[in-house]
Structure 1
Amino acid sequence: MFRSIRATLRLSAAAAALAVAGPAFAQTPPPAAPVEDTWFADGRAVLAQRLAVRPIEGRARNVILFIGDGMGVSTITAARLLGAEQAGEAGSSRPLAMDGLPHAALVRTYTHDAMVADSAATATAMVAGAKTHNGVLNVAAAAPARDCAAALAAPLDTLFARAERAGLSTGVVTTARVTHATPAAAWAHSPDRNWESDRQLPPAAVAAGCRDIARQMIEWPYGDGLDVVLGGGRVYFMPEGQPDPETPSRSGLRQDGRDLIAEWRAANPAGAFVIDQAGFDAVDPTRTSRLLGLFEPDHMRFAHARENEPSLAEMTRKAIAVLQTRGEGYVLMVEGARIDHAHHVGQAGAALQDTLAFDAAVRAALEAVDLRDTLVIVTADHSHNLTLTGYSPRGVPVLGLVTGADGAPMRLADGKPATVLSYANGPGGAMGPRADLSDADVDDPGFIHPALAPLPSAAHGGEDVAVLAAGPWAHLFGGVIEQHVINHVMAHAMGMYHE
């Protein structure tokens, strides 16, 4: 009876609708099927892929945390476009390797004391699971920044320390100095990220018992210490006056007379210490249980200018190979640090090249691991103030000028063209009228892109960043999350949440 009443109501409603619509509407049959085109077919194919995704809920033996420093969403988008251009697919939507990770969320990056974050506080959030002050490494927010005594009383436990206590292997790979904020978060506790060598330690901090970040790495007390460390920053481990082995014009910074590299080598006779591409290539992961590579006196080179040092993808591949030989599982951090550095100096082209190098490292890791037991996470510590704007047709170079539909550069109200990419502030800000870029080599990686406001170093962006993930418990990343939640997901995935 109820079914017949519902059917009658549906028929009555349909008849009323036809009467209101009039004869023309009533005589127009609906299309038999949606119009087919390549975009529609693509959407249907992606839906089928998404429907096939199943959560993995087994324990993660391994976790790899990729951090693109300063890699905001606009940077990812622009790098995707540049990658397509370089592959001869200008204007296409050719995906990055990180785009293929099935689970994603937006991440809120503000810190305990600031709307816009720095790399020390954000690394602390991801590694130690709590927000803290800008400029502080693995010290609870209850302790003021740059207060040594308070910091010593408020250390935060880290995922790396917990992993070592559990008998797992640990590694850090970066294109920055290894003592820089993001990589240093793997081992250091410091109320000031700038205390990289004892030269930077204030006398009061020394008197209170604080140690510099390089020394903390060598003296890290957990398990058997870090198994792999690859990046730059040799002079922070060398005594004052000792010439750098590759760049004799640079010399060690340490004032305590200690040669921390020599100390590491003495403590790890079966390990390998390397400083260049040849030494790196000669490392056999099956015969090397511990690896320290310091490839530059300071930061490593930008990806587009790299020479005589391994790429981020090569370092990632080697680190995984070494860590896998230990057999018990591992935690690895991989940082694409120079994305941030290029943005700071307004060189969008260099930032995008380093983003593509970072993505190549993600691809290398995905090819080397089994996602059934390895959680891979790709995110950024914070964004930058890069913007991609204008209404250029698809196919216009992302490092080029905004054009109209006719392909000619679009002139703004002052009669001058604009670049597709620009910054809210930075070195490219003009003190007077805008420069005419009609004949500028805007696609050169060293070109300084225009900025709205002049600033010696472009500021970070405070908007949410993306986190992308695959592997055990990656499905816990969804919606909008706080940055420190990333740490708790990793700990849960590895079965050490209540360790």
Structure 2
Amino acid sequence: MKKTLMATACLLALSQGAQAAGEAKNVIFFLGDGMGPTTVTAARIYKYKEEGFLNLEVLDGKARTARVKTYSNDAQTTDSAPSMAAYMTGVKMNNEVISMSPDTKAADASGKAYLNGKDATCPADNGKPVDTILEIAKSKGKAVGAVTTTTVTHATPAATYAHVCHRDAENTIAAQAVPGGAGYNAKLGDGLDVLLGGGTRYFKPKAAGGDRTDGRDLIAEMKTKGYAFAGTGSELNAIDAKKTAKLFGLFNSSHLNYELDRVKNKIDEPSLKDMTLKAIDVLGQNKNGFFLMVEGGRIDHALHGTNAKRVLDDTIAFDDAIKAALDEMQKRDPGLANTLIVVTADHDHTMTFNGYGKRGSNILGTVKNYKDGTEMKDKDGKNYTTLVFGNGPNRPATRTNLVEGAADKTQVLHDDYLQETAVKLSSETHGGGDVKLFAAGAGSAAKTFKGTIDNTKVFGLVKSAFGF
């Protein structure tokens, strides 16, 4: 009798495991580039105060959480190329490498990068491509897409659909997205169904003001392959998704503007929320489901510049896109029964939350003593901001008292204020710490997105949720 009960329990467990695998018809993978734990906390306070929550922290109210290790194959601190590629392929690779095998090098033995401007010069025997979850989903009949606030050829979006030995080969990466053209990535079948972001320069020839050295106009080529094209936010908004099977949009020669500047200057670029919802409208028409990657890419750029205000505004814009996607998918798929949503970051940065500040203080301001609200001072009697960086450009030779105002960029609440740094570098670096992951919906059950996991394991969890 005991053996029978044990056997029944084993069969039940196996059955439940089988049901957990393959639950997801759709996957939306949100990536906040450089959005480490301090950025999440600071953005939460910036928008919702200490007691609040970001949408990404709550998701459907039943989110699973994990800590993710981000080191690359050759570095304690990763860059965006191998970290995103680890999520997309399950393979550890070297810094600057996009979705290639671990033996792939971005530079020769002398340290010279395999690059000629924005064109790759990768040797034929320098590693081999490894399949991405987007390519696998496409081969299973699903619609696929990538949305970003960076150039669509930047490291994070490129890792979903391209394979190259050096991330800066953006001309080469662009060609991999054009169905049937020279250099096309045949693993994409009939092509990406949605691609939205910046980077017109890598799709236009030099004669037309672009960076391409082969004379090709890839935008024109994409149009001949049936892609509806948008070059402004207004044009994207005007596209009827129900009549659109393929959507391609480039809204800036380079990266899209920071959210603060887009709104303040009324720039005709779409928000990340706008792009995400339009992508879901197009991809959602596929009866087999879809895979969509959405990147808040300029969070990272503001962090490199030690400009915390733009960091937080872009993080909130990323969070707003997540909320919009959640609301839309709940309409289409109540309870997210067939949809997995994953939110994470590719790496940390050196931004630090410091001092014993008073609750309710402006997160971008100077530290106020929690006991009496007076300015807290360093050993030299100077005040300091709550947010500072471990390294970066703004390290004054002599510290002076800071003004909590916005009259000019020397005052800490100004849009262009750069937080102070401990080590002086021309640009702030990534940090090597773990990042957060939040998952909700189909395939996010216990014993999956939980605990401390390697970034490569996330690929397997998403693949299993799809049932691949």
User: With structure 2 as the length reference, what TM-score do the two structures score?
Assistant: 0.86
1:165 and 2:130 are equivalent in the alignment = no
Identify if the C-alpha distance between structure 1 residues 153 and 400 changes in structure 2 by more than 3 Å, giving closer, same or farther.
closer
Looking at structure 2, the residues matched to 459 and 58 of structure 1 have their Cα atoms a distance apart, in angstroms, of 39
Task: Please give the secondary structure, in 1, of the residue aligned with 2:197.
Answer: strand
Identify if the C-alpha distance between structure 1 residues 159 and 151 changes in structure 2 by more than 3 Å, giving closer, same or farther.
farther
1:59 and 2:23 are equivalent in the alignment = yes
Task: Please give the secondary structure, in 1, of the residue aligned with 2:291.
Answer: strand
1:93 and 2:51 are equivalent in the alignment = yes
Looking at structure 2, the residues matched to 408 and 318 of structure 1 have their Cα atoms a distance apart, in angstroms, of 48
Q: Which residue of 2 aligns with 1:191?
A: 165
1:77 and 2:38 are equivalent in the alignment = no
Letter in 1 for 2:174: A
Aligned match for 2:89, one of 113, 120, 128 = 128
Task: Please give the secondary structure, in 2, of the residue aligned with 1:393.
Answer: coil
Looking at structure 1, the residues matched to 384 and 216 of structure 2 have their Cα atoms a distance apart, in angstroms, of 52
Q: Which residue of 2 aligns with 1:231?
A: 197
Looking at structure 1, the residues matched to 93 and 50 of structure 2 have their Cα atoms a distance apart, in angstroms, of 41
**TM-superposed deviation, 1:435:** 3.3
Aligned match for 1:103, one of 43, 51, 64 = 64
Task: Please give the secondary structure, in 2, of the residue aligned with 1:480.
Answer: strand
**CA deviations over 1:95-144 (Å, ceiling 9, x no partner):** 11011141010000000000000000001101111110000001111222
Worse overlay, 63-72 or 406-415: 406-415
Asked whether the 8 Å contact 2:391–2:424 carries over to 1, the reply is yes
**CA deviations over 1:202-244 (Å, ceiling 9, x no partner):** xxxxxxxxxx1111111232221100001000011001121xx
Q: Which residue of 2 aligns with 1:448?
A: 418
Q: Which residue of 1 aligns with 2:13?
A: none
Aligned match for 1:385, one of 339, 345, 350 = 350
Letter in 2 for 1:342: A
Letter in 1 for 2:467: G
Q: Which residue of 2 aligns with 1:272?
A: 228
Task: Please give the secondary structure, in 2, of the residue aligned with 1:186.
Answer: helix
Aligned match for 1:137, one of 89, 98, 116 = 98
Aligned match for 2:403, one of 418, 435, 438 = 438
**TM-superposed deviation, 1:331:** 0.6
Among the aligned pairs, what percent are the same residue? 42
**TM-superposed deviation, 1:396:** 0.3
1:364 and 2:324 are equivalent in the alignment = yes
Asked whether the 8 Å contact 1:388–1:422 carries over to 2, the reply is yes
Matches within 5 A, 1:268-307: 268=226, 271-306=227-262, 307=267
Task: Please give the secondary structure, in 1, of the residue aligned with 2:177.
Answer: helix
Task: Please give the secondary structure, in 1, of the residue aligned with 2:460.
Answer: helix
**TM-superposed deviation, 1:406:** 2.2
**CA deviations over 1:439-482 (Å, ceiling 9, x no partner):** 54312232101111111110001000011000122131111000
Structure 1 gap segments, 5+ residues each: 1-54, 85-90, 198-211, 243-250
1:424 and 2:424 are equivalent in the alignment = no
Asked whether the 8 Å contact 1:289–1:326 carries over to 2, the reply is no
1:119 and 2:80 are equivalent in the alignment = yes
**CA deviations over 1:48-72 (Å, ceiling 9, x no partner):** xxxxxxx966520011110000000
Looking at structure 1, the residues matched to 414 and 236 of structure 2 have their Cα atoms a distance apart, in angstroms, of 30
**TM-superposed deviation, 1:329:** 0.7
1:465 and 2:421 are equivalent in the alignment = no
Looking at structure 2, the residues matched to 280 and 297 of structure 1 have their Cα atoms a distance apart, in angstroms, of 16
1:216 and 2:172 are equivalent in the alignment = no
**TM-superposed deviation, 1:322:** 0.7
Q: Which has the larger radius of gyration?
A: 1
User: With structure 1 as the length reference, what TM-score do the two structures score?
Assistant: 0.80
Identify if the C-alpha distance between structure 1 residues 415 and 375 changes in structure 2 by more than 3 Å, giving closer, same or farther.
same
Task: Please give the secondary structure, in 1, of the residue aligned with 2:413.
Answer: coil
Asked whether the 8 Å contact 2:22–2:464 carries over to 1, the reply is no
Looking at structure 1, the residues matched to 233 and 106 of structure 2 have their Cα atoms a distance apart, in angstroms, of 39
Letter in 2 for 1:447: Y
Aligned match for 1:262, one of 220, 223, 248 = 220
**TM-superposed deviation, 1:415:** 1.3
Identify if the C-alpha distance between structure 1 residues 159 and 452 changes in structure 2 by more than 3 Å, giving closer, same or farther.
same
Task: Please give the secondary structure, in 2, of the residue aligned with 1:185.
Answer: helix
Letter in 2 for 1:411: K
Query: Number of residue pairs matched?
Result: 411
Looking at structure 2, the residues matched to 322 and 378 of structure 1 have their Cα atoms a distance apart, in angstroms, of 21
Looking at structure 2, the residues matched to 444 and 321 of structure 1 have their Cα atoms a distance apart, in angstroms, of 38
Asked whether the 8 Å contact 2:135–2:161 carries over to 1, the reply is yes
**CA deviations over 1:338-364 (Å, ceiling 9, x no partner):** 000000011011001100000001101
Looking at structure 2, the residues matched to 322 and 342 of structure 1 have their Cα atoms a distance apart, in angstroms, of 31
Q: Which residue of 1 aligns with 2:466?
A: 494
Looking at structure 2, the residues matched to 83 and 132 of structure 1 have their Cα atoms a distance apart, in angstroms, of 36
Aligned match for 1:483, one of 455, 462, 467 = 455
Q: Which residue of 2 aligns with 1:318?
A: 278
**TM-superposed deviation, 1:151:** 5.9
Task: Please give the secondary structure, in 1, of the residue aligned with 2:176.
Answer: helix
**CA deviations over 1:274-324 (Å, ceiling 9, x no partner):** 011210110111111111110000000001011211110111111011100
Matches within 5 A, 1:243-258: 251-258=209-216
Q: Which residue of 1 aligns with 2:296?
A: 336
